Chain A
Amino acid sequence: MKNYIKYMALSAVLLTACEAELDNPIEDGGVYTIGEADFSNYIAVGNSLTSGYADGALYISGQQNSFPKILAGQFALAGGGEFTQPLVDDNTGGLLAGGTQIQPNRFVLALDADGNPEPVRLEGTATTDITNVLSGPFNNMGVPGAKSFHLVAPGYGNIAGVATGASNPYFVRFASATDATVIRDAAAQNPTFFSLWIGNNDILSFATSGGTGVDQTGNLDPSTYGANDITDPNVFASVYNSEIQALTASATGGVVFNIPDVTSIPFFTTVPFNAIPLDATTAAGVNQAYAQYNGALALYATAGVITTEERDARTINFQEGQNAVVIEDETLTTLPNPAGGTLPNIRQATAADLLLLTTSSKLGTLADPGNPSSVIGVGVALGDADVLIPEEQTLIATAQASYNATIQGLAQANGLAFVDSRAILNQLADTGISFDAGTLTSTFATGGAFSLDGVHPTPRGYAYLANQAIDAINTTYGSTIPKVNIGSYGTVNISN
């Protein structure tokens, strides 16, 4: 019987020792190497793309799938520490300031009356109030809306400036003080590794405003810029360099991202220039309504007031089938109207014009509900704020090329990992990127890469960017951080 007791005791010992264990468990560390980098304190600096913003809002599950959060999850396999984020209070999105909503709720995909999916703002009450300041610091210092020079602007997190646009409601939530700057709050955490993706809004706000802002190239004082202006490339280079210096003061390494083309973003590529279907009768009727305008143009061309090219570009002609949208173009010659006043500066769009995603809900509707001939895009032109015309695109591309040269040059000079997000987004837009359950593309709502605001990625899109960052980091620093499986990350959210 004594032996029997001994047997039972042995059994108990074996029981506790018999958990299955792999030969080389990832959990115990040691599978992945860090190379020359030190991921123990990773700080992410940037704009909405760093914060995890998606679907036109910042909400918790979006933040949990931010590219820095995904990166940090992989860094954690090689000595990376905890990664904190200034999480908002809900998955509704939207911001309140003292109880008043100042940022709208997120978009979700809902079925309309005919069963077709369309993006709508999620109903519900936003609960994140910016007067509730979080106690930081946070590893994720992404501030939606921030431009390059905002990161070094004292008071960008001062709630007093939110109403006038002098400060940023998202930074208000976690700025260390009212006169804090984003970059100082980041550098004060002594990052061992950082990411910096900034400069997108320096052109993007101009682009999403339909080019209604001003190209400030030549103006070196950003405090005089309007919200939708293009930042001077020298201002960009100067502040970008100072941000890199602030972060590399403590960091062993970092990863930087360049600025993608606006033409790779569904916000600018989804609505076609010829979005107007007409039958022959309606087309003839519309042409009749534009006969006077067309006749005046012909007269001015004959008289040499405008070129024949401008006449041809401006002559309105609708046919049976798909027709180009009528748009306002402020670069056209202002002409007196023989009937009094001036002729409208309008023409039909071409494939070179980019119609903003926001026009999809108004094209074809009546500007004046009582007037059946006021169809927007036909009888009533889309406004300047609805379209990026080629001249505006050129301004954007010129500034962007200069920013990108700065980013890549400073990355090289400082030995930083560089992510060519411009090339990545172009590839998504052109051919898509295949993964283990399909192809990720830029197609709005269904392509998988972009969220329902048409500008910001989905979790799967962010995961793909994180993987590209991991590739760049491993190449630059000789580390072996593993990539994530993007098929495990979600796309657009449906609500029904």
Chain B
Amino acid sequence: MKRVLVTSLFLLASAITFAGGYRVGLQGQRALAMGHTGVAYVNSAELAFFNPAGLVFLENKINASAGGFGVFSSVAWQNEGTGQYAQTDSPMSTPFYLYGSYALNENLSLGLAVYTPYGSTVEWPTDWAGSHLVNNIELAAIFIQPLVSFKISDKFSVGGGPIFVTGNVNFNRNANRFLTDLEGNRSNVTIDDSGVTNWGYSVGAMFKVTEDFTLGANYRSEIILDSKDGTATFANFPNDSGAPITVGTTTIPSNGTTGFTASLPLPAELTVGGSYSKDKWVVNFDYTRTFWDVYEDLDIVFSNGQESINPRNYKNSSIYKVGFGYSASERIMLRAGYYFDESPVRSGYFAPETPRNDSNGFTAGLSYVISDSFAIDASFLYVRFKEINESYDYVDDGSSFGGAYKSSAFVPGIGLTYKL
């Protein structure tokens, strides 16, 4: 047992799921440990996220799963043409989840899910070479979703529910590549908003092909977060007059606080997959398509007449996932997995606020059964990115910002599963 565990840790490294863009694929310890699979895996309340149709197939009347992760990510950048380099010093972010289901009767279960599938925390050194694109950004969105799961037959069920989203954003970047006040401090803008809300939904279906083999599909709708009530703070501009000034072709906004509007899409996602159980083993396969093409641009329009137009032009992308589970003993379930995560970022649109290229995620974890009702779940994700030479070619002064990027992320997580 000891040997198996250590081997799995070294060979598979461990895993955490990061999907492209600002999707954070960390929606359950058990699923994550198995390559973030679970659309057809009837095992715990994590189904509330992965496929609510499956909740009605859970054996117990009450099921709950809760947990959190510590995301440690870093990005290194350099440009050999100029000799510039930088590395992010991003603080740990902590996505979490809380799922519960209650079986009203044999054919109908109700559920509740709270989870954080989107977010981004990137902190570059202030005034670094790419500071005209981002100094730091913090995005977070909490999804809250009541659920219903209904068994149509012994083999087929459906489920779903409305999603309420509340999000917040804080984003700072410099005005351009060089503007300063008279003391040499770089002119910069911070936008900040919280409590941006909207509604969406998810629906799923599950089909038990045989006793051992299950298929599932789950769709989560697109949700656009429209920020209207936030504040934009202009600082260190060489203009304290209270009104923009125009010198030649350049307009310089005044220092101070103003409003802004911006839209951030949280794209729709479709997952299909299967789960096969035999003896002590479980194997899951999931395929996820994320409809990133909704993210065409990040346009910030300020109340003082300034605007910031940032083409993104994301493309739809896929994640291919596989996970394994092994019941090592009555009390211990070992898990491991792998996924390949395509980046939604097109070449030439590689912006340092979400510097994601294709990645390989290696996951592992275990569940330890404490009692009839309680189990502790732990997981670990290591995301391996290849070094990539990329650029963002749409800086508003006509220039391009690029270089070699290398990202890495690893995410330990811990959670609790309850059943009654």
Question: Which residues on A are within 8 Å of B, measured CB to CB?
Answer: 1-4, 6-7, 10-11, 14-15, 18-23, 25-27, 31-32, 60-61, 64, 74, 77, 91, 108-109, 111, 115, 117, 122, 436-438, 446, 459-460, 481-485, 487-491, 493-496
Contacts and interface: CB of A to CB of B under 8 A. Distances in A.
Given A20-B88, A61-B183, 11 more contacts: A3-B1, A7-B380, A14-B382, A18-B408, A25-B76, A26-B83, A61-B180, A91-B184, A482-B83, A488-B177, A490-B179
Contacts of B398: 436-438
B80 A26 contact: yes
B408 A3 contact: no
Contacts of B6: 6, 10
A402 B334 CA distance: 84
A482 B247 contact: no
B82 A484 contact: yes
Interface in B49-71: none
B126 to A, nearest CB: 15
B302 interface: no
Given A77-B83, A482-B81, A485-B82, A91 B408 contact: no
A482 B80 CA distance: 7
A487 B177 contact: yes
Contact of B247 (A14, A485, A488, A494): A494
B368 interface: yes
A4 B378 contact: yes
B252 A22 contact: no
Interface size class of B (residues with CB under 8 A): 35 or more
Nearest to B249: A446
Contacts of A1: 368
A60 B82 contact: no
B368 to A, nearest CB: 7
Nearest to B8: A7
A18 B238 CA distance: 41
Interface string B361-400: 0000010100000000010101001010000000101111
B407 A20 contact: yes
Given A22-B406, A122-B182, A482-B83, A15 B238 contact: no
A124 to B, nearest CB: 9
Interface in B229-252: 238-241, 245-248, 252
Nearest to A18: B410
Report the 9 A-B pairs with minimum CB-CB distance, sorted nearest first: A61-B184, A437-B397, A490-B178, A436-B399, A20-B408, A482-B83, A77-B83, A20-B76, A20-B74
Contacts of A487: 177-178, 397, 399
B326 interface: no
A380 B70 CA distance: 79
B181 to A, nearest CB: 8
Nearest to B180: A490
B343 interface: no
Contacts of A31: 80, 83
B22 interface: no
B399 A109 contact: no
A494 B76 contact: no
B218 interface: no
25 contacts: A3-B1, A3-B2, A7-B366, A10-B6, A10-B9, A11-B380, A18-B382, A18-B408, A19-B408, A20-B74, A20-B406, A26-B80, A27-B78, A31-B80, A77-B83, A111-B245, A437-B398, A437-B399, A460-B178, A488-B177, A489-B178, A493-B180, A493-B238, A496-B240, A496-B252
Given A11-B380, A11-B412, A438-B398, A494 B238 contact: yes
Contacts of B276: none
B5 interface: yes
Contact of B182 (A14, A77, A459, A493): A493
B85 interface: yes
Given A3-B2, A4-B378, A60-B184, A15 B78 contact: no
B78 A19 contact: no
A14 B14 contact: yes
Contacts of B382: 14, 18
A494 B178 contact: no
Nearest to B410: A18
A19 B74 contact: yes
A446 B250 CA distance: 10
A21 B78 CA distance: 10
Contacts of B241: 496
B368 A64 contact: no
A4 B78 CA distance: 39
Contacts of B406: 20-23
B194 interface: no
A22, A32, A460, A483 pick with most chain B CB within 10 angstroms: A22
B87 interface: yes
A15 B13 CA distance: 12
B403 to A, nearest CB: 9
Nearest to B240: A496
Nearest to A11: B412
Contact of B178 (A26, A483, A488): A488
A438 B129 CA distance: 19
Contacts of A496: 238-241, 245, 252
B182 A91 contact: yes
A3 B331 CA distance: 13
Interface in B153-205: 177-180, 182-184
A25 B75 CA distance: 13
Interface in B6-30: 6, 9, 13-14
Contacts of B74: 18-20
Nearest to A106: B182
A10 B399 CA distance: 44
Contact of A23 (B85, B183, B387): B387
Nearest to B248: A446
A25 B78 contact: yes
B72 interface: yes
B404 interface: yes
